Copies of this chain bind each other. A is one copy, B any other.
Amino acid sequence: MFKVAQFGAGRIGAIHARNIAAHPALSLEYVVDPIQESARALASTYGAKVASAEEVFANPQIDAVIVASSTDTHLDHCLAAARAGKAVWCEKPLDLDLDRLKARLADLEPIADRLLLGFQRRFDPTFRALHRRLNAGEIGEVETVHVTSHDPAPPPVSYIKVSGGIFKDMTIHDFDVARWILGGEIVSVFASASNLVDPAIGKAGDFDVAKVILRTAGGKICVISNTRRSGYGYDQRIEAYGQRGRLAANNMTETQVETWTEAGAAADRFENFFLTRYAQAYAAEANHFADILAGTAKPLAGIADGLGALELAVAAEQSARTGLPVPISSLG
């Protein structure tokens, strides 16, 4: 039984706490949150206790920490965990500041094999199946990839302002999917982005629609499509095109009911909320974290993946601002 402390008692924290509590090899011991009431509520639901960060890191009984607190605390908690020798499961991103992250990489190195970065899409059963079948050669060598990632509705502008911008906040997941599915080193990024959804987002200096082209050294190409407001639900798809065909990961619908009327055939809307859409992924991620703690697995997404996706986000931002493609080596 591995003893776990969790930073953050918000929406995603509630998901992780439940999955930890239900796992036969993991035990939730502490919950840490600046909002004491949230910490207490979550802790009591699962028989855990409230603690401070210092107490957690000083406690030799604690094997691992889950970092599901606000983004600006991620890197500090990871660094503290590295110093204390504890395994970490950290929500993305490690940090919004690429230079700061690079400067502290060496300090994270000691727990590189025990730091799981929360790119949960790699754990989604449908996306995993696509990845597995692609690597099994079902369509031959992959040549191009399309990633569609459309949110149903934009977050409040207050969130946008601290989000790091669309590329670091939203596309970062797609950059990780691209790196995972595409194979090959990405050498350039071109992004075309607009403010079409909410003028307030534009006023805040951000984009709300973006299309990105990634290119590998070998000439493989990935297209990413993002919007902050789809109008039709949470659209999460991957299409991989290879020598002998196409693998597509389609959306999930809320139920399998179809209605046929004079107007035609209608299917249910998509699983519309990311916590519902990726519920299975979060549970699988908890299983994987238990395997890492048991020493039977290495992180499917780790520090290098966090760095790689962040580099692409920074390059995409620069491309969208300048109108020019950005070579990735220029960031080195």
Contact = CB atoms under 8 A, between A and B. Distances in A.
A205 interface: no
Contacts of A266: 263-267
A125 interface: yes
A71 interface: no
B190 A192 contact: yes
A270 B256 CA distance: 12
Contacts of A241: 150, 227, 230
Given A220-B194, A223-B225, A244 B261 contact: yes
A258 B248 contact: yes
Interface string A228-260: 011111010000011111111111111111111
A171 interface: no
A163 interface: no
Given A225-B223, A256-B252, A266-B264, A209 B245 contact: no
Interface string A318-332: 000001110000000
A244 B130 CA distance: 26
Interface stretch (A96-104, A106-114, A139-147, A303-311): A139-147
A126 interface: yes
Contact of A246 (B126, B144, B232, B243): B232
A22 interface: yes
Contacts of A204: none
Nearest to A153: B262
A133 interface: yes
Interface stretch (A49-57, A72-80, A174-182, A211-219): A211-219
A262 B139 contact: no
A268 interface: yes
**Most B CB within 10 A of own CB, among A45, A125, A221, A245:** A245
A227 B143 contact: yes
A189 to B, nearest CB: 10
Nearest to A261: B245
A260 B235 CA distance: 10
Given A219-B196, A221-B194, A266-B266, A261 B231 contact: yes
Nearest to A242: B231
Interface in A108-142: 125-126, 129-130, 133, 138-140
Contacts of A221: 192, 194, 209, 211
Given A140-B231, A223-B211, A324-B325, A257 B267 contact: no
A38 interface: no
B269 A262 contact: yes
A262 B194 contact: no
A245 B264 contact: no
Contacts of A230: 241, 245-246
A235 B239 CA distance: 13
20 contacts: A129-B255, A130-B257, A152-B262, A190-B192, A190-B325, A209-B219, A213-B213, A231-B243, A231-B262, A232-B246, A232-B262, A233-B260, A245-B259, A246-B261, A249-B257, A250-B258, A253-B264, A265-B269, A266-B266, A323-B325
